[in-house]
């Protein structure tokens, strides 16, 4: 007898092992038709797999926007893509093809030396539709390691052979077939290829080294999207079009903010306007931190490996660090990937008392990390970056109050930058970590107590904590609904112990402080990229790197225009002069492309009357005002939020 308990608490009893499709059919034929898989005691399996013991079950169906259903359909789509590619391009070798957010990808190796491009997509998509229409069953088969290796060796699939060989001893090896095409896969899959439907689209091709190793073959990764219905897919395509218009790389070039080039991979060349934006943000954050009681410090870029060994970074983070590679370990230096061990060194220079805790130490710290070339993306993911990094050294009973103060500061800063919707994620202990389980229990408990004391809702992000402590991640939602993880707060009992940090308590005893690692904007480079895309380059006046331009209509107004620009500059307004011998409509169009917020138009009449005709970006309307009034109004509007 097998008893299955459904989510509503009702039960179904069977006198034999039962499959998910048996259960769905027994409930209703309509349910069986839309069922994709079944969740048994929390594990998603195929509808065809037998359930042999009493279990809690949930049938996963299509048509309800269920993320688990979409993941199955997208994984199915990856397999169908691989079959289509190998059918059209015989000899192409396959490697991996997972479902990802919004879609799927599959990595291929062309033995004929050919390359895929977007012109190939219509033929591949047509073949995919053909495979879907065949309603081929996805069938699961468990095999031995030797059987799997023999099969993929015979098919000349070396990447699959390597994957099988690397599986742990004793792990169940499963193959999935659709028709005559077979892949190594854990599953689950829908009952047939027809379940995928027709709402998918191939999007792009990218390079990806096998297993992320630059010394291994370079694969060709084909990306696609897949949805349950046309409305969902069209909405996503509209979002992608909007995102393309806002792409920070495109706007960065149009607005003359920055550029990047191969001679400095992963580093940013900031142009004057981009650096003005950078310094405006830095000055604002500096003022907010100073007002919140932070001391600002600056620590070295190159630090001996001994400190990184003592802190644990050499063991846990070494592959992401740039080092001098000196054979002499005593002189082997590393460019710092983060600032925390250096801040502990400053803390340790003083005889700290409980009376001067909490001690809040901030740095606009320049860091370097050895990111793979394939992972970099404009200024969003770089190798050289600056963080608004800070560390709070405090006693255990100050964790709650410091967490509260930090989150209030963070929310206020995000609001000033235009972000009011914030999601909080709680990331607990990762597999690769330092410190004992008891220490992690203490740190996770302290952070959980602090966030719950604020009544702030949060999601669990399992296993994504730092190697030295759990963390809160603060996720922003931008103008078109995309999520961006920026700020973090981490509770750390490990580094103070490893680096011998201490303070004297009220009984004159030596104690370890707790170290709170925190950032608000995170990487300045990434945050600026987010701001560019969020505002589509149309920054609020206080942030705009070029706030306006004084543009002449006729050359007779050149001297007056120059005087206006000088007076604006003396008032702290970032206006440039455009006295070129061009028509005013040409100037307006050009500066609109550059996303300049204000154009002060001047001609002979304005020169005679001491006025300007002010046009705002995106508006045809002009405001005529005298210079003193304009300076007063615009100075107030351009003032940073914390100085108003």
Residue 564 to residue 545: CA distance in whole angstroms = 19
**Which of 239-243, 305-309, 374-378, 489-493 is the least confident region?**
374-378
Residue 16 known to be catalytic: no
Q: State yes or no: pLDDT of 620 exceeds 90.
A: no
Residue 389 known to be catalytic: yes
pLDDT > 70: what percent of the chain?
99
Mean pLDDT of 21-34: 90
pLDDT in tens, 480-517: 888 999 999 999 988 999 999 999 999 999 999 999 99
Dmax (CA) of the chain = 99
Residue 387 known to be catalytic: yes
Residue 471 known to be catalytic: yes
> Pick the catalytic residue: 471, 518, 574, 615?
471
pLDDT in tens, 61-76: 987 678 899 999 999 9
Phi, psi of 565 (to 5 degrees): -60, -40
Q: For residue 6, give the DSSP letter.
A: -
Q: What tokens were used for 106?
A: 């599959």
Query: Rounded to whole angstroms, what are the CA distances from 580 to 548, 584, 587, 591, 622?
Result: 16, 9, 9, 13, 21
Residue 418 to residue 643: CA distance in whole angstroms = 16
Q: State yes or no: pLDDT of 1 exceeds 60.
A: yes
Residue 121 to residue 42: CA distance in whole angstroms = 37
* 187: exposed, middle or buried (Cβ count in 10 Å: 0-12, 13-18, 19+): middle
**Which of 185-189, 257-261, 316-320, 623-627 is the least confident region?**
316-320
3-class state of residue 581 by DSSP: coil
Contacts of residue 428, defined as CB under 8 A and 6 or more positions apart, other chains included, come to 444, 460, 461, 462, 463, 464, 465, 470
pLDDT in tens, 581-612: 999 999 999 999 999 999 999 999 999 999 99
Mean pLDDT of 157-186: 94
pLDDT bracket for residue 329 (50, 70, 90): low
Residue 203 to residue 224: CA distance in whole angstroms = 5
Residue 402 to residue 500: CA distance in whole angstroms = 22
3-class state of residue 469 by DSSP: strand
Residue 510 known to be catalytic: no
**Which of 179-183, 249-253, 465-469, 628-632 is the least confident region?**
465-469
Mean pLDDT of 342-349: 96
What pLDDT is stored for residue 83 in this prediction?
97
523 has which bridge partners?
Answer: 387
Does residue 36 come out as left (phi exceeding 0), alpha (psi in the -120 to 50 range) or beta?
Answer: alpha
> Pick the catalytic residue: 189, 383, 391, 433?
391
* CA 88 to centroid of chain Cα atoms: 35
Residue among 454, 343, 357, 352 at smallest CA distance from 396: 357
What pLDDT is stored for residue 326 in this prediction?
64
What pLDDT is stored for residue 97 in this prediction?
94
Strand pairing category for 459-461 and 503-504? unpaired
Mean pLDDT of 133-152: 95
Q: State yes or no: pLDDT of 374 exceeds 60.
A: yes
Mean pLDDT of 439-464: 87
Residue 185 known to be catalytic: no
> Pick the catalytic residue: 189, 221, 343, 517?
517
- Convert 290-335 into a string of H (helix), E (strand) and C (coil): HHCCEEECCCCCEEEHHHHHHHCHHHHCHHHCCECCCCCHHHCEEE
pLDDT bracket for residue 327 (50, 70, 90): low
Residue 313 known to be catalytic: no
Residue 181 to residue 189: CA distance in whole angstroms = 14
> Pick the catalytic residue: 387, 490, 511, 546?
387
Residue 385 to residue 390: CA distance in whole angstroms = 15
The mean of the pLDDT values for the chain is 93
């Amino acid at each position: 007898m097998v008893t299955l308990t459904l989510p509503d608490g009702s039960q179904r009893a069977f006198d034999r092992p039962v499959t998910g499709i048996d259960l769905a059919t027994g409930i209703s034929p309509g349910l069986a038709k839309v069922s994709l898989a079944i969740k048994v005691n929390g594990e998603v399996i195929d509808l065809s797999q037998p359930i042999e013991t009493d279990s809690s079950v949930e049938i996963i169906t299509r048509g309800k926007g269920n993320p688990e259903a979409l993941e199955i359909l997208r994984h199915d789509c990856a397999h169908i893509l691989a079959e289509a590619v190998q059918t059209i391009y015989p000899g192409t070798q396959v490697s991996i093809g997972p479902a990802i957010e919004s879609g799927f990808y599959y990595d291929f190796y062309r033995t004929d030396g050919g390359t895929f491009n977007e012109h190939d997509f219509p033929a591949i998509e047509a073949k995919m539709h053909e495979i879907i229409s065949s309603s081929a069953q996805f069938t699961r088969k468990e095999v031995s390691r030797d059987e799997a290796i023999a099969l993929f060796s015979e098919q000349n699939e070396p990447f699959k052979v390597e994957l099988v060989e690397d599986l742990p001893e004793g792990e169940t090896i499963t193959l999935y077939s659709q028709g005559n095409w077979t892949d190594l896969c854990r599953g689950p899959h829908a009952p047939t290829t027809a379940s995928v439907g027709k709402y998918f689209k191939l999007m792009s091709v990218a390079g990806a080294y096998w297993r992320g190793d630059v010394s291994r073959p370079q694969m060709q990764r084909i990306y696609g999207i897949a949805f349950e219905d046309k409305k969902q897919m069209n909405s996503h395509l509209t979002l992608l079009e909007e995102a393309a218009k806002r792409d920070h790389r495109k706007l960065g070039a149009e607005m003359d903010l920055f550029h990047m080039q191969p001679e400095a991979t992963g580093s940013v060349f900031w142009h004057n306007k981009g650096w003005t934006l950078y310094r405006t943000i830095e000055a604002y954050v500096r003022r907010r931190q100073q007002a919140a009681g932070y001391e600002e410090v600056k620590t070295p870029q190159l630090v001996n490996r001994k400190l990184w060994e003592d802190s644990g970074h050499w063991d846990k983070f070494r592959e992401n660090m740039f080092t001098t590679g000196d054979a002499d370990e005593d002189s082997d230096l590393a460019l710092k990937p983060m600032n925390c061990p250096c801040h502990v060194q400053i803390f340790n220079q003083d005889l700290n008392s409980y009376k001067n805790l909490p001690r809040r130490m901030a740095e606009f710290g320049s860091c370097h990390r050895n990111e793979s070339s394939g992972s970099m993306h404009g200024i969003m993911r770089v190798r050289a970056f600056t963080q608004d990094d800070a560390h709070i050294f405090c006693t255990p009973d100050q964790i709650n109050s410091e967490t509260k103060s930090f989150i209030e500061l963070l929310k206020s800063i995000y609001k000033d930058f235009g972000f009011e919707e914030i999601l909080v994620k709680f990331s607990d202990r990762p597999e690769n970590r330092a410190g004992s389980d008891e220490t992690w229990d203490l740190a996770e408990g302290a952070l959980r107590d602090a966030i719950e004391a604020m009544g702030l809702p949060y999601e669990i992000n399992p296993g994504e904590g730092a190697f030295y402590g759990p963390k809160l991640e603060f996720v922003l939602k931008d103008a078109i609904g995309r999520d961006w993880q920026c700020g973090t707060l981490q509770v750390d009992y490990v580094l103070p112990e490893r680096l011998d940090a201490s303070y004297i308590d009220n009984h004159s005893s030596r104690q370890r402080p707790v170290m709170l690692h925190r950032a608000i904007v995170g990487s300045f480079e990434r945050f600026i990229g987010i701001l560019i895309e969020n505002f589509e380059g149309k920054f609020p006046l206080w942030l705009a790197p070029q706030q306006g331009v004084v543009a002449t209509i006729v050359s007779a107004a050149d001297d007056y225009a120059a005087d206006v620009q000088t007076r604006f500059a003396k008032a702290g307004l970032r206006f440039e002069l455009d006295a070129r011998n061009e028509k005013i409509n040409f100037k307006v169009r050009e500066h609109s492309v550059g996303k300049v917020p204000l154009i002060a138009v001047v001609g002979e009449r304005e020169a005679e009357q001491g006025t300007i005709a002010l046009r705002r970006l995106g508006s045809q309307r002009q405001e005529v005002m005298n210079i003193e009034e304009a300076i007063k109004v615009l100075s107030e509007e351009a003032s940073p939020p914390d100085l108003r």
